Amino acid sequence: MTKSSSSHTTSTSSQQSQKVEAYYQLHAQIYDATRWSFLFGRENLLDKIPDLPSQPHILEIGCGTGKNMERLSYHFPDASIVGIDLSPDMLQKAKKRLGSTKDIELKLGQYGKQSFNYDSFDLILVSYSLTMFDDNIEDVFEQICKDLKPQGYIAAVDFHTSPFNWFCKWMEMNHVDFSEQLFSLFKKYFSPSDIELKKAYGGLWTYFQFVGRQS
Ligand SMILES: C[S@@+](CC[C@H](N)C(=O)[O-])C[C@H]1O[C@@H](n2cnc3c(N)ncnc32)[C@H](O)[C@@H]1O
């Protein structure tokens, strides 16, 4: 049965997090119907994740409406899976989707502002969430390293950049950072086992997939 929990985060939320939370009050309602057309690479990322130990602990940071968690529980049926997200509206959708799925926990809050009951995770998944985080992104990478077991895997997919300034600006208006820094940070903090940069819509933007371990 899905468990949910919340933490006291509002008073410590950054401005960016408050904007993201407000953005998803509306966008949660249309998220699953629309995002298939531009959040590419989510499905086959899970196929690149190597075998994990039995009964793995898995975390998704910024789990949104729970689409990836549903697929994770199919891929790793004996896993216990935690999803954290700052948007109550997105988590409400995830709860609806995952209601009858066992060993899934949904946590409301900003990643990094609370600790987990598990000592650490065998796999951490970040799918199109880190480009919406605020400026202290290196702190987030430090936190991921602490939350991962030493031999644990990180799997990530996210926007990289675009040659079109107008497009980057438009994405910024949607609270998404297109400054290319994330891909370099993954390579700095983790040793890749599978890494790809891909074009979307003939090069309107690029996105990356990264699977790796702590260096
Ligand atoms: C584009 S959605 C991606 C959702 C899901 N991972 C997917 O692949 O469909 C980004 C999600 O990250 C969440 N998010 C953004 N910043 C966050 C933070 N600092 N802590 C936790 N969640 C965050 C948002 O609320 C949103 O649900």
Q: DSSP E strands: which ranges in 63-188?
A: 80-85, 104-108, 121-127, 148-161
Kindly give the distance from the C-alpha atom of residue 121 to the centroid of ligand 1, in angstroms, as a whole number: 19
Residue 8 has a pLDDT of 36
Q: Which domains does the chain have, with CATH numbers?
A: 3-214 (3.40.50.150)
Pairing of strands 205-214, 190-200: antiparallel
**Could you state, in chain order, the average pLDDT of each consecutive group of 10 residues for the chain (215 residues)?**
55 79 95 96 94 96 97 95 97 94 92 79 97 90 93 97 96 92 96 97 98 90
Q: What integer pLDDT is reported at residue 126 of this predicted model?
A: 98
- DSSP-assigned letters across all residues of 154-194: EEEEEEEE-S-HHHHHHHHHTT---SSHHHHHHHHHEEEEE
Query: Does the beta carbon of 131 lie inside 6 Å of ligand 1?
Result: no
Sign of the CA dihedral running 116, 58, 73, 108: positive
- Distance in angstroms (rounded) separating the CA atoms of residues 206 and 57: 31
Q: Is the CB of 133 under 6 A from ligand 1?
A: yes
